Structure 1
Amino acid sequence: MSSPVTRRAARLAAIRALGRWGDPSALELLSSLTNHQDIDNRRYAREAIGSIRLRHGV
């Protein structure tokens, strides 16, 4: 079983990976994370959204 710290780190890494991957289909999921209770989830989601929009002009 993983610890909360490990799960949080994995979630943040996944959010960053979505931004690097750059698929616009991830925008809906990332947008939902901009209201997450964890400030880093919100920040990483906003950064990933910005990266995707910049790359694809959406």
Structure 2
Amino acid sequence: MGNYAYLIKELDINKKFLQSKKDQTLYKIKYIVEYVKTGYLFFVKEKVLKILILLILCV
């Protein structure tokens, strides 16, 4: 499993937020960051911290 697939699975991000046709890495980064910005994970501070750390490590 690639880093971004793992990240999406680990953080329980609903794949309907990631358009299947936009499968490239940059789009995944954009959507994961947008997912956090729009507040889907706002109430789970540990997961927000985790996603930021994993994004830094994956890039």
Higher helix share: 1
TM-score, with structure 1 as normaliser = 0.33
TM-score, with structure 2 as normaliser = 0.33
Q: Which has the larger radius of gyration?
A: 1
